[in-house]
Amino acid sequence: MNQWKGKPYHSLDYELRKQFGQKIYKLSLDGGMTCPNRDGAIGRRGCIFCSEGGSGDFAVPASAGASVFSRIEEAKLQVQKKAPSAGGLRYIAYFQSYTNTYGPLEYLEALFTEALSHPDIAAVSIATRPDCLDGQVVNLLARLNRIKPVWVELGLQTIHEETAAFIRRGYPLPVFEKALDRLNAGGLTAVVHVILGLPGETPSMMYSTVRYLAHKNIQGLKLQLLHVLKGTDLAALYESSPFPVFTMEEYIDTVIRCVELLPPEVVIHRLTGDGPKSLLLAPAWSGSKRLVLNALHKRFRESGSWQGKEYTDT
């Protein structure tokens, strides 16, 4: 455990300080793209849990005519209001909203190249879908990765096909595996998103997803609590036929078990989340991210648990 400066898991903050020698902040940006699950290519309503912001409700929007530089500067101001010292900060340009490789290759190259050229940007992180990562796109990202680090965040959510169909993910598991193989071949950092608490999934099913990923060549993982957000189809279902959601204690126990199953080298990018409070229907306790993280760290200490405790390489 001491290898992460006393923390019980391989945190993103630890990894960034190790790589860049300082604290790095994320700037949430909108790349101006939509999603094949919204424009009719696959579907029209998106994933069942997805809000109008496409999981990028805090992102700086891609206003008409606004350059990537100007969006970065606007996002920096938001961060610097919270940061005690505005000087010498470096950032990750996080293209978060919708599917950020769902556009013409020339557009993607111009967008990400401009972001990487900003002197305060240390790396670029691109949230996307596995079915929007063809060979040309991955080759482009691999080239850009030689300028500054490029991370690719894949929304897997679950390995269970019945759940994937229910949430309208829109692709089968082999598509994820093929995309991951391409990213690995291109030398790119792969970060995978998993949602804990999807309707119908037992803790055992969630652990199966994490075990599966523990034996894949991924470099990072985001564990996200399921949020029921107003305006989503999930919210309509929850209001008409309420389904059980995690209590905070149940969620903490589940997260700790997931972390125990992961190899020590995988970077934990997220252990919970904080959707917009104005949209949050359930679970109500998740509205205080700091409270959840404090309780989680306390439970780690009390239980004597750590990342990799239950990991086996077979």
Between CA 128 and CA 99 the distance in angstroms is 4
125 contact partners, CB below 8 Å, separation of at least 6: 26, 92, 93, 94, 95, 150, 151, 152, 153, 191
Question: Treating both helix axes as pointing N-terminal to C-terminal, what angle do 105-117 and 68-82 enclose, rounded to 10 degrees?
Answer: 50
Structure tokens at 288: 């205080």
Tell me the per-residue pLDDT of 219-248, one tens digit each, with 9 for 90 and over: 999 999 999 999 999 999 999 999 999 999
What is the predicted pLDDT for the residue at 11?
97
Q: Where are the domains of the chain?
A: 2-303
Q: Read off φ and ψ for residue 304, nearest 5 degrees.
A: 65, 30
Closest by Cα among 25, 175, 28, 30 to 85: 25
| Bridge partners of residue 27, in order along the sequence | 93
- Can you tell me the distance from the alpha carbon of 306 to that of 260, in angstroms, rounded to the nearest whole number? 6
Q: Which residues of the chain have pLDDT under 50?
A: 56
**Total length of the chain:** 314
Q: What is the CATH number of domain 2-303?
A: 3.20.20
Asked if residue 29 lies in contact with residue 71, where contact means CB atoms within 8 angstroms, the answer is yes
Tell me the residue type at 300.
F
3 state SS of 73: helix
* CB neighbour class for 230 (10 Å; exposed up to 12, middle 13-18, buried from 19): middle
Residues 58 and 26: beta-carbon distance below 8 Å: no
- CA 239 to each of CA 198, 229, 234, 276, 278: distance values in angstroms, whole numbers, following the listed order: 16, 11, 9, 19, 17
CA–CA gap between residue 28 and residue 48 (Å, rounded): 22
Contact 150, 112 (CB under 8 A): yes
Contact call for residues 29 and 53 (beta carbons, < 8 A):
no
User: Of the candidates 256, 271, 277, which has an alpha carbon nearest to the alpha carbon of residue 203?
Assistant: 256
Do residues 152 and 189 lie in contact, with contact meaning Cβ atoms separated by under 8 Å?
yes
Distance CA 155, CA 193 (A): 5
Enter the pTM of the model: 0.94
* Structure-token match 């997805």, residue found: 50
Supply the pLDDT for residue 64. Answer: 53
